[in-house]
Every structure is written in C-alpha cells, then in structure tokens.
Chain A
Amino acid sequence: KQEVTQIPAALSVPEGENLVLNCSFTDSAIYNLQWFRQDPGKGLTSLLLIQSSQREQTSGRLNASLDKSSGRSTLYIAASQPGDSATYLCAALSYNTDKLIFGTGTRLQVFP
C-alpha cells in the first residue's frame, strides 16, 4: 500500500532563499509523481508532473526531481518570494491504480 510523507510540515523563510521540499513514497513502482500548490481554502494547482522514466522537470523557478530507487522526490524553489507562500503537496500515482496518493503537505511561508 502506497504511503506518501512530506517533510518539513512547515517552513518559514525570508524572501530570496532557495528552498528544498521533500516527498517520500514507500512503493517505488510509481507511474508518475505530481507536485501541487494549495492556497488556504482553495483548490489544487498542478505545478509539475514527473513521469517514472524522468529524473526531473523544471518550470520557471521550480525544479522537481525523482529518485524511484530511494523513494524520494524533491521540489526546489529558487529565489523564494512572498507570493510562493502556500501549502505544497506531492502525490504519487502507482501502477494498476487510478488514484493519486497525497502527502500531508509542507506549509510554506515566505516573509519579506
């Protein structure tokens, strides 16, 4: 049974710092892994999707990596801004299932 955990649970940093958010999954037989952003009381915005055959994906200041053998993905945020403040969720899609398994998220606050 796939389980996804994220550390840290919360992070508060000054503007401009480079950040690493961690996501671990127990079953390495994943189809893909997706990172989302969630603002308070709002929906999930897809940030990056990494297929199982890929090692990383980049979008602007965001870079996500995937290491299936160690069961880990990281989301790297460069030059953080106050507008990056949100909860970041990772979710794994395993083979032979339709469901995304979500982590508990990392709540990020970037202060000016």
Chain B
Amino acid sequence: EPEVTQTPSHQVTQMGQEVILRCVPISNHLYFYWYRQILGQKVEFLVSFYNNEISEKSEIFDDQFSVERPDGSNFTLKIRSTKLEDSAMYFCASSGPLADGEAFFGQGTRLTVV
C-alpha cells in the first residue's frame, strides 16, 4: 500500500542550526502538507503546497521556515535557525488528486533542539 515516508525519524540539533526534514509523498498525490505536534498538544497545521507553490500557511510558518519540492518525489521542510520551541514531532502529509481527498500522514520526524 502506498505510504508517505519521512526521514530522519529523529533529529537532534543545536539551537541556531539549520535543519532539513525530508518527505516522500504518495506518488500520484498533488497536495502536500507539513504539520507539527508539540508534546502533549494538538496537531497543528504549518503549510500546504500545491502546483509548486505554497497555497496556505499558518502564523507559525514564519521566515525561519521554508518548503521545497526539489524534484518529482521529495518534499522538504527547512528550519533556518532552530529555536528550543521548535522541538516537536513534524508530520508530512499528502492528498489528492482531488483537494478533498483523504490525507495520508507519514510516521513523523521527532526534532529535538538543545
């Protein structure tokens, strides 16, 4: 069964360092997303990406964050200068080909900023 895959599963980084989280969405999906979940809190939306551009972003997704689809299969989230409060589980998701399709999530990358 097709699935969304994320790497790495766990990343530890020092405050101020740049991190790139990687995702391979399901191959025929057209809509890509990043969500995060701080320990003990709700899953919250960061950004959606369609047709090679950001279609929507939340207030959390400030200038420190960026997304890219560098080739036909990968979808990345970059955090330019990590802060302690960026520590969370980051989930990639994809849906489609219709906008109201079922969203499938990856297993997540646990980011720990020290």
Contacts and interface: CB of A to CB of B under 8 A. Distances in A.
Contacts of B108: 42-43
A75 to B, nearest CB: 15
Interface in A11-39: 31-32, 34, 36
B102 A46 contact: yes
Nearest to A6: B42
A7 interface: no
Interface residues of A, number: 24
A7 B95 CA distance: 27
Interface stretch (A65-73, A76-84, A92-100): A92-100
Interface stretch (B13-21, B43-51, B62-70, B73-81): B43-51
Contacts of B11: none
Interface in A24-62: 31-32, 34, 36, 41-46, 49, 51
B107 A102 contact: no
Contacts of B35: 100
Interface size bucket, B side? 20 to 34
Given A42-B107, A44-B91, A100 B102 contact: no
A63 to B, nearest CB: 17
Contact of A43 (B48, B50, B55, B107): B107
Contacts, number: 56
**Dominant SS among interface residues on chain B:** strand
B104 A51 contact: no
A98 B42 contact: no
A93 B100 contact: yes
B101 to A, nearest CB: 8
Given A44-B43, A91-B43, A98 B56 contact: yes
Contacts of B33: 98-100
A101 interface: yes
Interface of A: 31-32, 34, 36, 41-46, 49, 51, 89, 91, 93, 97-105
Interface of B: 31, 33, 35, 42-45, 48, 50, 55-56, 58, 89, 91, 93, 99-100, 102-108, 110
